[in-house]
Amino acid sequence: MSRFWKIALIVVAVLVVGGVAFRLLHKPGAEPGAGNHQKSSAQNGGQPGANGQDNAPVPVTVEPTAKQNVPVYLTAIGTVTALNTVTVNPQIGGQQLVKINFNEGQPVKKGEVIAEIDPRTYQAAYDQAVAKQKQDEASLATAISTLERNQKLVASGYVAALNIDTYRNNVDQLKATVIADEAAVRSAKVQLDFTKIISPIDGVAGIRQVDPGNVVSTTTNIVTLTQVQPIYIVFNLPEQNLEAVRDSFKNGANKLEVIALDRADAHPLDTTGALQVVDNQIDTSTGTFKLRAVFNNPNSTLWPGQFVNVRLRVRTVQDGLVIPAQAVQRGPDGDFVYKLQPDQTVAMQAVHVAGEVGDSHVMISSGLADGEQVVTEGQFRLKPGSKVKALKPGEVPPVQVTSDGKKDKQGGKRRGNTG
């Protein structure tokens, strides 16, 4: 290699080393005093902002605990059942159905004629029975008259006493025949009445199963009637609730309140019902026992076959401790609330929820005392010891600006983050 090329390689190497050194010495963020700035931030505990905004009290809504009488309910899914269900069949057969007198799906009253069968054959049989009765009654009248005349002639010797016995026996025989005729007339009248099919209950007519003009028999289903006023709801409860229900029910001596709610568990479907009966055995396959409640159902809101949510009130807790449901948070160790301290800070307080009170409150069995205040809105920004600004019940904390400049809203919607 010539001397010229050696000198060129040395010059290139020097330029490369110099460029690398320049880049290292002028790295971004290496301004003088940077180390002191980082140290200062560390000494301030990493708190952003020199105006102390993050240490300001957190606005929250608080409400005091309160005592009230709390009903205790057992819940289940129930099935609405008709008080009576009757399948209407003719009681006589072999004749034509001539008339249908009900409207499908409409109410019918007990005793109403809902259908009619051709009555001519049975009317003729009835007329024959009546005629036979009148004939035998006439024969009986003649026999009685003959007996009375001959009894007057016995004393004169014109009629033998032996003949009187024959006349008397003839009268008794005709009397029995008339009695049999009366029974035959009644039987014929019953058969004739069966040509008019009568509703046995107050109920709602279903879809008819036969049309006029068809010949019917005693197995022909005309229509099914269901009685819906009053109406039953049948439901099951776990066997561990049996003792509580029986103690409160006391074999029907106490009327336990039953409420039927829609499938969304939001609205009562009818006036309050009452528990009527507790079944006499536990279903071993499901570990449940059956109960039946009765409802007046004045507006026919409850319908046979309908599924409803059922609440059975078994007792009432006197002076139960109640708080808003939104105050309760779920943590890794169970339920808790943020309790307001006298120094306007909050503390986490474990609680035990005994049950729901309506749609917005819960009953607390342990962890709080009467009159203590709990946070109901704004929990997601809190931690034990946080300084707070208590707002009046019903007020909602305002929209806050977070450290990243975005607006956020306090409230119970992010309560899961507390746990």
Q: Could you say which DSSP state residue 415 is in?
A: G
For residue 31, name the pLDDT band (cuts at 50, 70, 90).
very low
Buried/exposed code over 226-252 (b: 16+ C-beta within 10 A; e: otherwise)? bbbbebbbbbbbeeebbeebeebbeee
Confidence check: pLDDT of 2 > 70: no
For residue 409, name the pLDDT band (cuts at 50, 70, 90).
very low
- Give the per-residue pLDDT at 415: 38
* Residues 59-81: tens digit of each pLDDT: 988 888 888 888 888 889 999 99
- Give the per-residue pLDDT at 77: 93
Per-residue CA distances from 263 to 80, 99, 225, 227, 348 (Å): 13, 41, 26, 23, 36
Q: Which residue has the tokens 């010797």?
A: 157
Confidence check: pLDDT of 143 > 60: yes
Q: 14 vs 411, which has greater pLDDT?
A: 14
Arithmetic mean of pLDDT, 401-419: 44
Length of the chain: 419
- Other beta carbons less than 10 A from residue 413's beta carbon: 12
Arithmetic mean of pLDDT, 324-346: 90
Confidence check: pLDDT of 188 > 90: yes
* Residues 220-246: tens digit of each pLDDT: 999 999 999 999 999 999 999 999 898
Q: Are 84 and 199 in contact (CB under 8 A)?
A: no
Arithmetic mean of pLDDT, 330-335: 88
For residue 151, name the pLDDT band (cuts at 50, 70, 90).
confident
* Residues 108-141: tens digit of each pLDDT: 999 999 999 999 999 999 999 999 999 999 999 9
Average pLDDT score over the chain: 82
For residue 8, name the pLDDT band (cuts at 50, 70, 90).
confident
- Give the per-residue pLDDT at 269: 84
Q: 214 vs 157, which has greater pLDDT?
A: 214
Q: What percent of the chain has pLDDT over 70?
A: 81
Pick the CATH number of 73-83+227-318 from 2.40.30.170, 2.60.200.20, 2.40.128.20, 3.30.9.30: 2.40.30.170
For residue 54, name the pLDDT band (cuts at 50, 70, 90).
low
Partners of residue 373 on adjacent β-strands: 64
- Give the per-residue pLDDT at 24: 67
Least confident of 24-33, 193-202, 368-377: 24-33
Q: Round to whole Å and give the CA distance between 192 and 136.
A: 22
- Measured on CA atoms in the order 218, 219, 223, 227, is the torsion positive or negative? positive
Confidence check: pLDDT of 394 > 70: no
Topology annotation, domain 57-67+320-418: 2.40.420
For residue 410, name the pLDDT band (cuts at 50, 70, 90).
very low
- Give the per-residue pLDDT at 360: 82
Q: 227 vs 2, which has greater pLDDT?
A: 227
- Give the per-residue pLDDT at 255: 84
Confidence check: pLDDT of 351 > 60: yes
For residue 180, name the pLDDT band (cuts at 50, 70, 90).
very high
Confidence check: pLDDT of 105 > 80: yes
